[in-house]
Amino acid sequence: MSEKKPPRSPMDHDEFRRIGKETVDYIADYLETVQSRAVYPGVQPGYLRQLIPAEAPQDPEDWEEVFADVDRVIMPGVTHWHSPDFHAYFAPGNSYPSQLGDMLSNALGCVGFSWAASPACTELETVVLDWLGKMLHLPEHLLAGTAGAGGGVIQGTASEAILVALLSARTKVIRREKEADPESSDHDVMKKLVAYSSDQAHSCVDKAAMIAAIKLRKLPTDSDFSLRGTTLSAAMEEDRANGLIPFFCCATLGTTPSCAFDKLLEIGPVCCEENMWLHIDAAYAGSAFICPEYRPLLDGVEFADSFNLNPHKWLRVNFDCSTMWVKNRADVVDAFDVDPLYLRHDNQGLVTDYRHWQIPLGRRFRSLKLWFVLRMFGVKGLQQYIRKHVSLAKEFESLVLSDDRFEVSAKVVMGLVCFRLKGPNTLSERLLQKINETRKIFMVPAKLRDTYVIRFAICAATTESSDIVHAWNVIREQAAEVLAGVQNGV
């Protein structure tokens, strides 16, 4: 059978051999020289539509024509996330081993919704999540092992991990309440449910609560922007007194505005005593827990029902790869299990069918890239990477502290420094706008209570001390102009 020649297609195997290799060179060139590009694009909204035709071509175009448009149409509108001058949001994961994993995943092109749909896709994911779980010293009950009740799964994003946790908790509490009161309907229970997070938690917790149609209380934090156990207890007591049912808490380790850490060792026992689902979102900072010196920040994870971190942020894995572990996978499957015949297979029951662990049905072979990264960097290589980012952040912090026009607005624990010009918010607002207009570096702001701060995140894999100094020079230059403008009444 294999002697049969497949028909001529727009790109046959040999053309791909040639063009694929040119693309590999293009990618290496791009990443090698990315810093020579302005980190933030100079385009205005709507720039792209005028650069390309209004309709798809009827006849095939040549690769050369298509590829030329990457430079003509796409590159002018790209924000270069992997430039050492990119300091916005949080570190985005990227590495060649990860890219190679995705190339293979796409070539296999299996859609791994069940074990049978591609056994390797399911099984590698379970085992590699155990690997990463062990690197993090997660408690045994969060790992799958060969007979565990828990285990890990790769979600697309932390948003999905949190939504899955919330929906699982919702299903569980509805069942419990309806057992206690068989007369009540799902909605009778749902309207009494209340979930908690800190007021620093990511907006995706709000979004998850909107989707799940449950009340979310965002609780005040202490002076370090951390949620305390007593705050949680007090809120729960108040809500119980009002006839509500506390059922879910999302603690954050490494918040987005300032990389603050909720007090897990206080919150955990409260959740545990009160039979409340505890989810831990450590999307960014979680990767750091592979270093023994940062692992204490995760103490209390033994109280958690579920936990997520994003290797696609700080562990050299390309987006998307948000790893999630659950204590009791039956809790998750209960919330999502719908099983038509066309998806059933002979080994049903014996195996993990990840479609019941997530919102979508289909899933890519994402564990390949994670596996490649863990093996090609090794635990030590990844620890070294984390430590380098933290030390660069400390270096930036000391530059800010050395200049008395500026202040550091939150404790620097990981690769993020929140800083501002002393004085009214408008100064720092103007400063950030001017800095980003230079397109020499790119940062985004946050509000810490009423204080506007500029977030300086160490992002690129190749950021070095010289880039920190460069960024600081850009910031100081623009600050001088802002402050001079104020003095001149501008």
Tell me which residues in 358-417 interact with a copy of itself (CB under 8 A): 359-362, 364, 368, 371-372, 374-381
The C-alpha atoms of residue 251 and residue 197 are separated, in whole angstroms, by 6
The C-alpha atoms of residue 261 and residue 258 are separated, in whole angstroms, by 9
Torsion of CA 207, 212, 213, 216, to 10 degrees: -60
Nearer to a copy of itself among residue 270 and residue 471 (C-beta): 471
- How many distinct helices (H) and strands (E) make up the chain? 14, 11
Window 127-186: residues binding a copy of itself (CB under 8 A): 127, 130-132, 134-135, 146, 156-160, 163, 167, 185-186
Nearer to a copy of itself among residue 263 and residue 369 (C-beta): 369
User: To the nearest whole angstrom, how small is the minimum distance from the Cβ of residue 296 to a copy of itself?
Assistant: 21
Nearer to a copy of itself among residue 110 and residue 272 (C-beta): 110
Indicate the angle between helix axes 329-336 and 158-180, nearest 10 degrees.
90
Kindly provide the residue ranges of all beta strands, DSSP E only, lying in 265-414, ordered along the sequence.
Answer: 277-281, 306-309, 322-326, 406-408
Residue 351 interacting with a copy of itself (CB under 8 A): yes
Residue 152 — φ and ψ, nearest 5°?
-115, 160
Which of 222, 224, 274, 320 binds a copy of itself (CB under 8 A)? It is 320
Nearer to a copy of itself among residue 80 and residue 329 (C-beta): 80
Element (H, E) at 415: none
Which of 2, 242, 487, 488 binds a copy of itself (CB under 8 A)? It is 2
Window 46-65: residues binding a copy of itself (CB under 8 A): 46-49, 52, 54-61, 63, 65
The C-alpha atoms of residue 315 and residue 417 are separated, in whole angstroms, by 19
Part in contact with a copy of itself (CB under 8 A); list of ranges 246-254, 299-307, 344-352, 473-481: 344-352
Residues with Cβ < 8 Å from 297, sequence gap 6 or more?
Answer: 253, 261, 264, 285, 288, 289, 413
Please answer whether residues 367 and 154 qualify as being in contact, where contact means their C-beta atoms are separated by less than 8 angstroms.
yes
Task: Please report the sign of the dihedral spanned by the C-alpha atoms of residue 8, residue 10, residue 16, residue 18.
Answer: positive
Which of 176, 207, 405, 434 binds a copy of itself (CB under 8 A)? It is 207
User: To the nearest whole angstrom, how small is the minimum distance from the Cβ of residue 132 to a copy of itself?
Assistant: 7
User: To the nearest whole angstrom, how small is the minimum distance from the Cβ of residue 286 to a copy of itself?
Assistant: 16
User: To the nearest whole angstrom, how small is the minimum distance from the Cβ of residue 364 to a copy of itself?
Assistant: 6
Window 322-341: residues binding a copy of itself (CB under 8 A): 335-336, 338-341
> To which residue do tokens 């095939």 refer?
60
Apex CA 226: angle with CA 453 and CA 419, to 5°?
A: 20
Residues with Cβ < 8 Å from 352, sequence gap 6 or more?
Answer: 115, 122, 126, 144, 151, 329
Element (H, E) at 42: none
Of 212, 175, 221, 168, whose CA–CA distance to 194 is shortest? 212
Nearer to a copy of itself among residue 178 and residue 272 (C-beta): 178
Number of residues that bind a copy of itself (CB under 8 A): 164
Nearer to a copy of itself among residue 271 and residue 279 (C-beta): 279
Residue 33 — φ and ψ, nearest 5°?
-115, 15
Residue 474 interacting with a copy of itself (CB under 8 A): no
Nearer to a copy of itself among residue 271 and residue 427 (C-beta): 427
Nearer to a copy of itself among residue 9 and residue 426 (C-beta): 9
Binding mask 249-278 for a copy of itself (x = CB under 8 A): -------xx---------------------
Window 438-457: residues binding a copy of itself (CB under 8 A): 444-447, 452, 455
Window 219-248: residues binding a copy of itself (CB under 8 A): none
Window 98-137: residues binding a copy of itself (CB under 8 A): 98-100, 102-104, 106-111, 115-121, 123-124, 126-127, 130-132, 134-135
Residue 33 interacting with a copy of itself (CB under 8 A): yes
CA distances from 360 to 160, 226, 270, 344, 427 (A): 10, 33, 33, 17, 45
Part in contact with a copy of itself (CB under 8 A); list of ranges 205-213, 297-305, 392-400, 478-486: 205-213
